[in-house]
A and B are shown apart, each in its own frame.
Chain A
Amino acid sequence: MTETPANGKEALRIADLHAWYGESHVLHGMDLSISRGEVVALLGRNGAGRTTTLKSVLGLVGRRTGTIRVNGIETVQMPTHRIAHLGIGYCPEERGIYASLSAEENLLLPPKVQEGGMAVDEIYQMFPNLKDRRKSQGTRLSGGEQQMLAMARILRTGAHLLLLDEITEGLAPVIVQMLGRVVRKLKERGFTVVLVEQNFRFAATVADRHYLIEHGRIVDMIPNAELEAKMDKVREYLGV
């Protein structure tokens, strides 16, 4: 359990990860490594296995084998709620805002998983809209506000590894820019962020590195500085 990581700076290490939903085998030997404080994007087509990779980290798939180390701790055998307490914050693709809870109850829902989370006031400074809408029913918020809420509520908990799934999907450019500023601010504060993105232009503005995923495995890793040069390759993988 208290195995020391090969690299003490490694926030997430995935090796030879296979994952299944029922009968369907979705991940076929995924390998990746993310250091603390890094912002990394997982790029790929729909169905390539990007979302499944995030879900596997939290044990939200049917079955998984291989290695997933969070801060050096092996988690493949752990139940979901214990993995969360290693300091993971998860923002799902469908946002997961609860209709039976007010915006503020949604914000306060996730329990503290570690020390050092952001204070509610600080979060409201980062997302002023949420303060004005705090009494509204969670699902009455606009799409952009719901996305902010889904991100805001995992900043309170002390989680330092944030898994953000398609946070820009379907949002207006001005909100996408705002979310970009937020992700950069989180990086300054030392958060480790894993983004699943369809929008690689957005990813290019925030990420340090990009993993390209196809058929449930990593096919390439591109540092952000080389992204422009390798644009043709990226386009080919993403089918755009």
Chain B
Amino acid sequence: MDTIFGVPTQALFGQLLIGLINGSFYALLSLGLAVIFGLLNIINFTHGAQYMMGAFCAWFLLNKLGVGYWWALAIAPLSVGAFGILIERLMIKHLYQLDHLYGLLLTFGLALIIQGLFRNEFGSAGLPYQVPAELAGGQNLGFMFLPKYRAWVIVASLVVCMATWFVIEKTKLGSYLRAGTENSQLVQAFGINVPRMITLTYGFGVGLAALAGVMAAPIYQVNPLMGGDLIIVVFAVVVIGGMGSILGAILTGFGLGVIEGLTKVFYPEASNTVIFIVMAIVLMIKPAGLFGTQK
């Protein structure tokens, strides 16, 4: 068997693929967090629960209503995003004048409540969700076997991330968002309805989490705790990329997924901690994160 640095290529590419898959979810989730933090200055700890709700929404659509994966990709982000909008209007909007910490506490509390409710209802065993028929099976690339669904997740996540980046960095709407992130009072003085923009931005960020949840359902199963486990790592990714940086969130998401995968090959004992080690190093050298600017 071929080897690279004494590691079988099969194992190397296998872990690289898993790294890219994990990185896809890190990128989607940290992108949503970055967008929300940029404009709202709220550290959205409910993000993991909203990701989990996206997965449950897909499961519910399939098992109770017979609505399949492709429709779920649209319906879950819209409904979970609408739920996010409700939360922003009813609760989060009262905290904008206060310290970051209050928003963090509120969203953390909400995450615990939502997770508790789902665990009470569905247990914590995990519910299976089938890979859609169109993406079943895979391709032998010669050096490794590539399941179609996993290739789809990587490509879809890249496309969604790049589209979000494009809208924010290159369009008029995005210029309102960027300006609002810097000085929202002046943007409002120019005649833009900033409160509405904030609400929709929160809904969009939450929708991204739910979309990630639907894409994750066939890979990780549907489990009330799936978001809670992931969100800690995602926060580390956001800190490394730089709070509020869009490109930073995307690049660090994929990059750290790959680093984590490679660690599993070369030094498996460290694979669970490598991201936090990177975070500690980055915080010491560049406290604002790799792509962040000090506020």
Contacts and interface: CB of A to CB of B under 8 A. Distances in A.
Interface of A: 58, 60, 79-82, 84-85, 90, 92, 96, 98-101, 105, 108-111, 113, 154, 157
A72 B189 CA distance: 19
B204 to A, nearest CB: 18
* Secondary structure type dominating chain B contacts: helix
Nearest to A150: B186
A109 B175 contact: yes
A106 B187 CA distance: 11
Interface size range on B against A: 10 to 19
B102 interface: no
Interface stretch (B70-78, B176-184, B249-257): B176-184
A106 to B, nearest CB: 8
B178 to A, nearest CB: 4
Contacts of A81: 188-189, 191-194
Nearest to B191: A84
The 7 A-B pairs at the shortest CB distance, nearest first, are namely A84-B191, A110-B190, A100-B178, A96-B186, A80-B188, A90-B189, A81-B193
B185 A60 contact: yes
A109 B179 CA distance: 8
A96 B222 CA distance: 47
B172 interface: yes
A85 B190 CA distance: 8
B178 A101 contact: yes
Interface string B186-223: 11111111110000000000000000000000000000
Contact of A101 (B175, B191, B193, B195): B175
B191 A100 contact: no
A84 B190 contact: yes
A98 B178 contact: yes
Contacts of A96: 183, 186
Interface string B155-188: 0000000000000000010011011011101111
A60 B189 contact: yes
Given A81-B193, A108-B172, A100 B179 contact: yes
